């Protein structure tokens, strides 16, 4: 699962279009989602995965295993992300 945490102001930025294109290119291989970090269920998911409101936008890959939960934080600038970097 890849989750793009972003603020409402980022909804139409270019990196979101890149993320959506990556989701289309990888359909069936991974679950792609985006979320805010401050309201209701979104806040719970953000807390569980370690998203930080002060570091938005941020991309977190989440993989559940039998024994644990692995998380990978994209370390580059999400605003400059390419489809190759997402896949």
pLDDT at residue 49 in the model:
93
Helices (H), 1-87: 14-25, 40-49, 83-86
**Taken in order 76, 81, 84, 87, is the CA torsion positive or negative?**
positive
pLDDT at 66: 83
pLDDT (0 to 100) of residue 20: 95
The predicted-structure confidence for 47-76, as pLDDT tens digits, reads as follows 999 999 999 999 999 998 888 889 999 999
Q: What predicted TM-score, i.e. pTM, was given to this entire model?
A: 0.90
């Amino acid at each position: 699962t890849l989750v793009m945490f972003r603020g409402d102001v980022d909804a139409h930025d270019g990196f979101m279009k890149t993320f959506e294109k990556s989701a289309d290119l990888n359909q069936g291989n991974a679950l792609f989602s985006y979320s805010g970090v401050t309201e209701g269920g979104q806040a719970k998911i953000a807390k569980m995965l370690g998203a930080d409101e002060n570091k938005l936008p941020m991309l977190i890959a989440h993989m559940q295993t039998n024994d644990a939960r692995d998380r990978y934080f994209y370390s580059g600038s999400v605003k400059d992300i390419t489809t190759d970097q997402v896949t």
